Amino acid sequence: MGLVPTMGALHEGHLSLIRLAAREADVVAASLFVNPTQFAANEDFGSYPRREADDIGMLEAAGCRLVYCPQLTEIYPPGDSTRVRVGALSEDLEGAIRPQFFEGVASVVTRLFAHLGPDLAVFGEKDYQQLLVIRALTRDLGFPIRILGGPTQRDPDGLAMSSRNAYLGAAERRQAGALPAALQQACKRLAAGEAISDVCGDARSSLLSAGFSSVDYIEARHAETLSPMGTGSATAGVPGRILAAARLGTTRLIDNLPFQRS
């Protein structure tokens, strides 16, 4: 069984994960659960889009045969106090800005794995740090589950598909393409060997010039550990990942791309 965990409000990005799971597994299952523990009190848990009936129709059409829609108390029974924390990998980047996020994700994914016992599970590369955190918890807790990353699906202007893109107003949606454009430009310069601090600094400036209200981070890291990349020839040929989070009005967008220094 291949599992695709989701919080619903499905789009083509999720459906591509279902199709990937269907190529690798005999039976594809998905979960629909808006997980409260990964939201901070000031975040959008209450307003997160919920359209379960539509989601189930889309899942069925994409080849999913089992949909798990647990109640809150099935995931977090009364009196529950167990949480899963994945050390240093989860404390940087997204974890530094949203300190509750990865503990919430790790806690719910651990329960989904325990309840459903899949052979493999698929997560989108759009949430790249989340994918690495889930790989780490799967290894550390000894789940016999193969974790696959599905490529980010993008709109024609390059914007990574996300349920939260629905929050963007029309003008913001036009500006949002500046995020993937800045990352693509940065990747070219990183591959050419330019200094990481200059490249990331320029990418940050280009986002602010394009109308983004703030940039939480733009960082070029080792692709497997997310540790900072050194300078000079030691980084040549090492797989890297540039990761960014930035805000357009009240909407927070994240994205990432692979690069390799020559």
What is the CB-side half-sphere exposure of residue 64 using CA atoms within 13 A? 27
CA-CA distance, 143 to 24, in Å (whole number)?
18
Q: Which of 214, 217, 227 is nearest to 256 (CA)?
A: 217
- Nearest-10 crossing angle of helices 12-24, 52-61: 40
* Least spacing, CB of residue 38 vs ligand PAF, in Å: 6
Are residues 179 and 207 in contact, defined by beta-carbon separation less than 8 angstroms?
yes
* Least spacing, CB of residue 195 vs ligand PAF, in Å: 33
Query: Closer CB to ligand PAF, residue 90 or residue 130?
Result: 130
Asked whether position 176 contacts ligand PAF by CB under 6 A, the answer is no
Binding pattern for the stretch 97-116 against ligand PAF, x by CB under 6 A and - elsewhere: --------x--xx-------
Q: Which of 127, 133, 179, 215 binds ligand PAF (CB under 6 A)?
A: 127
Query: Site residues for ligand PAF, window 33-72 (CB under 6 A)?
Result: 35, 38
Query: Site residues for ligand PAF, window 130-149 (CB under 6 A)?
Result: 130
Query: Closer CB to ligand PAF, residue 106 or residue 179?
Result: 106
Give the pair of three-digit tokens for residue 56: 């189930």
CA-CA distance, 48 to 91, in Å (whole number)?
24
Q: Which of 7, 178, 186, 245 binds ligand PAF (CB under 6 A)?
A: 7
Amino acid at the residue 11? H
CA-CA distance, 202 to 53, in Å (whole number)?
44
**Which stretches of the chain bind ligand PAF, using CB under 6 A?**
5-7, 35, 38, 105, 108-109, 127, 130
Q: Which residues are catalytic?
A: 14
